[in-house]
Structure 1
Amino acid sequence: MRTIVLASTSPYRLQLLRQLGLQFHVAAPLYQEEIDQEVAPELLVKHLAHHKAKSLVERYPDALIIGADQVFVGSRGKILGKPGSFERAVEQLKDMAGRSHTFYTGVSVLDSKSGKSLTELATYTVTLKALSVGQIRDYVRRESPLDCAGSFKIEGLGIALMQRMEGEDYTALIGLPLIKLNGMLEEFGVKTLSDEPEVAL
């Protein structure tokens, strides 16, 4: 089995990758991400995901390194990432309330030994209910989603903000599209499910 490395400090991506039942290492990427408003979001997240994986090549010269990144486009047409503070989270949710928003999640798998890499994009759309400022502030105070693009945790109380959710893979909304990632890992020879015949007892 190849060494697998998740280039991320996100506890959400860590939990998601554990769902595939693989053994893996976790390391902070040595790459400072910057949001460039001139780049289309679908290209930006793929670029950031690839460079996060690439940043760990010297540290892990013979591994499959997974990088991921996520942004969404706010109501003013700006690409937004993590809010980072209580008030910014409140402002993001005020702008999002009553509207539909698409999240763009890039995922990259890089074979540091061969240099081969695959990078994919997953999108997911959410429609938030009309929310009062009081409801928004109560939500942010209770769940503190300051490290989440969109200022909500869909796997937690954030589901109470939603009117509708649409997409091919809900894990993309949390930050690591497992359906695409599983297929990418298979192309590198990593199988999450064994095809060995069942041994009779």
Structure 2
Amino acid sequence: MHNNLILASSSVYRRELLTRLQIPFSCISPDVDETPFEHELPQETALRLAKEKAIKIGTTHTDALVIGCDQVATLDNMQLGKPLNHDNATKQLRMMRGREVIFHSALCLYNAKTQHMQATVVPYVVKFRNLTDAQIESYLLKEQPYHCAGSAKSEGLGIAIIEKMTGEDPNALIGLPLIALINMLNHEQVYVI
């Protein structure tokens, strides 16, 4: 068992997901610039950032296995970032109502000792309900999802504004594709069970 697993994230949601696997790990926030490059596809942005986060932590923790994650939400190939405030979240949800949004969840497992890297993007499609302005306002006041890509938390009250979800791994929507992670850990001889 690898005894130095690090989640390169400050997300409490990712931490909660990783805790489900019942393996010891620590969390370190990687603090990288998440601005997308010009002409970069959403899945490319997510993958690049997941790798950057893992490598950044790996440079100072040279014997660690580092998990890097990033998520980019898109509507008609337009990137939806974290709204950060009520006005932006209101605009995002009004734009998304009755429509499908793709959440591109990138995952990277970086072995800092061998510099072996595994990385993938797991898409998850969410169709939002055709909400009224009053419903959007009510949701935002109750949940305040201002630090979530796409202004919604499916693991909380956000489930009420979602009509349908489609994808391989529901954990990907929350930001950490566990099915892909378990495969990657197995390749590093780290077995959950």
Do the structures match in fold with TM over 0.5?
yes
* RMSD (Å) for aligned C-alpha atoms: 1.0
Alpha-carbon distance in structure 1 between the residues aligned to 2:177 and 2:139: 25
1:119 is matched with 119
List runs of 5+ in structure 1 lacking aligned partners. 194-201
1:165 equivalent in alignment to 2:179: no
Alpha-carbon distance in structure 1 between the residues aligned to 2:78 and 2:43: 13
List runs of 5+ in structure 2 lacking aligned partners. none
1:40 is matched with 41
1:196 is matched with none
Equivalent residue of 2:60, what SS?
coil
Superposition deviation, residue 43 in structure 1: 1.5
| Partners of 2:67 and 2:109 within 8 A in 1 | yes
Alpha-carbon distance in structure 2 between the residues aligned to 1:136 and 1:120: 33
2:183 is matched with 183
Residues 33-42 or 178-187, more deviating = 33-42
2:26 is matched with 25
Alignment of 1:9-158 (within 5 A): 9-75=10-76, 77-158=77-158
2:5 is matched with 4
TM-score calculated relative to the size of structure 1: 0.93
After the TM superposition, list the runs of 4 or more consecutive aligned residues in structure 1 that deviate by more than 6 angstroms.
Answer: none
Superposition deviation, residue 31 in structure 1: 2.0
Equivalent residue of 1:38, what SS?
coil
Alpha-carbon distance in structure 2 between the residues aligned to 1:185 and 1:82: 29
Number of equivalences:
192
Alpha-carbon distance in structure 1 between the residues aligned to 2:89 and 2:134: 13
Equivalent residue of 2:108, what SS?
strand
1:2-34: CA deviations, max 9, x gaps?
210000000110001001111001001042221
Alpha-carbon distance in structure 1 between the residues aligned to 2:36 and 2:174: 19
- Cα gap change, 1:179/1:81 in structure 2, threshold over 3 Å: closer, same or farther? same
Alpha-carbon distance in structure 2 between the residues aligned to 1:147 and 1:192: 30
Q: Among all aligned residue pairs of Structure 1 and Structure 2, give the percentage whose two residues are the same amino acid.
A: 38
Alpha-carbon distance in structure 1 between the residues aligned to 2:162 and 2:24: 34
